[in-house]
Amino acid sequence: VNDITFDWSLECPACGATASAEGLPTVCPSGHPWLVRYADRGLTLTDRADIRRGQGMWRFRRWLPLLAGEEPVTLGEGDTPLLPAARAGAELGLHDLWIKDESVNPTGSFKSRGLSAAITRARRGGARGFVLPTAGNAGVAASAYGARAGLPVRVYAPRSTPPRLLEQVRRFGGDLELVDGHIGDCGREARKFAAEHGWFDLSTLREPYRIEGKKTLGLELAMQSGWRLPDVIVYPTGGGTGLIGMWKAFAELRTAGWVTDPMPRLVSVQSTGCAPIVRAFNEGADQAEPWSNPETIASGLRVPAALGDRLILRALRESSGHAVAVDDAALASAAETVSRLEGLDISPEGGAALAAATELVRSGTVHREARIVVFNTGAGWLYQRG
Ligand SMILES: [Zn+2]
Length of the chain: 386
The pLDDT score that the predictor gives to residue 14 is: 94
Query: Rounded to the nearest whole angstrom, what is the distance from the C-alpha of residue 28 to the centroid of ligand 1?
Result: 5
Check: CB of residue 374 under 8 Å from CB of residue 236. no
Query: Rounded to the nearest whole angstrom, what is the distance from the C-alpha of residue 218 to the centroid of ligand 1?
Result: 25
Query: Rounded to the nearest whole angstrom, what is the distance from the C-alpha of residue 18 to the centroid of ligand 1?
Result: 8
Amino acid of residue 379 = A
Check: CB of residue 374 under 8 Å from CB of residue 354. yes
Residues with Cβ within 8 Å of 225's Cβ and at least 6 positions away in sequence, in order, are: 82
Name the CA dihedral angle for 286, 287, 289, 291, rounded to a multiple of 10 degrees: 100
Nearest 5°: CA angle at 247, between 333 and 59?
Answer: 95
The pLDDT score that the predictor gives to residue 385 is: 87
Cα 115 from Cα 367, distance rounded (Å): 36
Cα 281 from Cα 83, distance rounded (Å): 30
Q: What is the pTM of this model?
A: 0.96
The pLDDT score that the predictor gives to residue 222 is: 98
Check: CB of residue 371 under 8 Å from CB of residue 100. no
Query: Rounded to the nearest whole angstrom, what is the distance from the C-alpha of residue 313 to the centroid of ligand 1?
Result: 16
Query: Rounded to the nearest whole angstrom, what is the distance from the C-alpha of residue 72 to the centroid of ligand 1?
Result: 28
The pLDDT score that the predictor gives to residue 3 is: 58
Check: CB of residue 155 under 8 Å from CB of residue 169. yes
The alpha carbon of residue 359 and the mean position of all alpha carbons in its chain are separated, in whole angstroms, by: 23
Query: Rounded to the nearest whole angstrom, what is the distance from the C-alpha of residue 34 to the centroid of ligand 1?
Result: 7
The pLDDT score that the predictor gives to residue 2 is: 52
Cα 88 from Cα 332, distance rounded (Å): 15
Contacts of range 18-21, beta carbons closer than 8 Å, 24 or more positions apart: 21/65, 21/208
Query: Rounded to the nearest whole angstrom, what is the distance from the C-alpha of residue 371 to the centroid of ligand 1?
Result: 36
Query: Rounded to the nearest whole angstrom, what is the distance from the C-alpha of residue 31 to the centroid of ligand 1?
Result: 6
Residues with Cβ within 8 Å of 124's Cβ and at least 6 positions away in sequence, in order, are: 67, 70
Cα 187 from Cα 78, distance rounded (Å): 27
Query: Rounded to the nearest whole angstrom, what is the distance from the C-alpha of residue 35 to the centroid of ligand 1?
Result: 10
Report, as ranges of residue numbers, the positions in the chain whose pLDDT lies below 70.
Answer: 1-3
Residues with Cβ within 8 Å of 179's Cβ and at least 6 positions away in sequence, in order, are: 156, 157, 158, 159, 185, 186, 189
**Bridge partner residues of 376 (DSSP):** 101
